Chain A
Amino acid sequence: MADISATKKQREPLIHVVKRDDMLSWQAWLIRGATVLIGLIIVGVLSMLVTQKGFFETYEIMYSGVFGKLFEGYTTMFWKYLQEIAILLCLALALTPAFKMKFWNCGAEGQALMGGLASIFCMIEFGEKLPYGVLIAVIAVTSILAGAIWGIIPAVFRALFNTNETLFTLMMNYIATQIIAYYVYIEGGGSNVINPVSAGNFPAVGKNDYFVNIVIVAVITILMFVYLKYSKQGYEISVVGESQNTAKYIGINVKKVIIRTMAISGALCGVTGMLLVAGKDHSINTNLVGGQGFTAILMSWLGQFNPFVMIVMTAIVVFLRIGVSKVADASLLNSSFSEIMVGIVILMLVGCEFFIHYSIKFRSKKKEVNA
């Protein structure tokens, strides 16, 4: 053992990682912006390789797939783009208060489905019986309640029995999916399809079917920002999330905050379900939310729980999702290709946080002083 020191190679490690917390916020955003750019280039190159199309042609297809033909003004496609952002953003906003409380709500999918179910149920059952205004109000209330209940159930178990909310909310998704499947089977007369319902749809503004959805989400975005930053409840959420001990120490009723916050989180998911059913599909199936409940988890994190940053993040991801799927369509690839590409960019965005929090130091080449 004594000789190890003599035989050991005398060198310092080639690279070591150093924590940094001196990065200014504009520098951090520069890194994130650059990451998005690099991500776009990688997506372009990969698409080019797979589809055998030209490099710029790929981007042209993406762009026109999202915004419509270049220089032709903004068309319905652009509104559709905004609508897609709105849905993803709404889910991300819904998750944010729960996440800030460090309650890992993985059940946005199920909570939104239950909201959607409440909407379609009201549209079918009361569509002919109630005046339009009342019907919309009933749809809104029941959807919010349905989502909230789906969120409160795991919260109550967590608050009272300290169950693991990640698994609980995840499992609640499957229950919701099966309930929808059952409802569709009954309502669709065994056909597994519910034909679009015309009653209780959100009104089109101008020629734009999605205007109401977009406005609702815009309002929610601002309200959520204010709620988290300037309200007493938002403050309680932060305290509970940072340290339950501190919360107890100053006399916050932690159980109450957990349940209340999950009610809000679930309710907003329920709203998303309503937007999808009453504002978009006018029907329902088990794929209504289409996994966006999970993408929203990433959006909330990448947006650092700031609603306005989340707008940017969702805009990027939705752009890629639509754009790359258009590229895939043009080359007879299926939608998995677009999901892979979106996955790559999200992964890069998550990965770039490493370079914001740490810097890598290489072995310095300076001359060693002899002893």
Chain B
Amino acid sequence: MSPVTKHRLLLLLPFTIFLVLLAYFAIGLTHDPSKLPSTMIDKPVPVFDLAGIDGGPGLASTDLTGKVQLVNVFASWCAPCRVEHPLLVRLAREEGIVIRGLNYKDKPEAAQAFLNMLGNPYTSVGADKDGRVGINFGVYGVPETYVIDKAGRIRYRHVGPLMPQDVENVILPMLRELAK
């Protein structure tokens, strides 16, 4: 390599660095900062035992083993929960999926009214009045939905309301895979 070509290549260096940074930041911009990874993935669900709402069946960590199921964190005061609720009802009724409710920081009577109005997709609901079980799950917003495998381990977390494409593309394939 002649000194002149070497010199020319060196001139390209700032531009190359610029391109690398550009790619780096472009990738960074595609990440949604409100969606955080869960550290609970592949870990067993936290140990808890919660009473039900309005005399209904409660929810304990022991209920979450033996069968692939979903845990849905919801509250009657949460508007996006209302958005995803019909989808949960359809999943439970038409796909026969076991969905457990974690009623996060809610009044039991308000939660019951919510379910009476919109339908109850939950096999059982635990009333997490002070949000402690939520914290143990790593919940930082409502709604959140967790996929639990047969061994009672958390395999996936969805943050925010479930949308039909999330269910079709992620949740249902995962449930089928885990059920094998």
Q: Do A and B come from one complex?
A: no
| Chain A positions near chain B (C-beta within 8 angstroms) | none
| Chain B positions near chain A (C-beta within 8 angstroms) | none
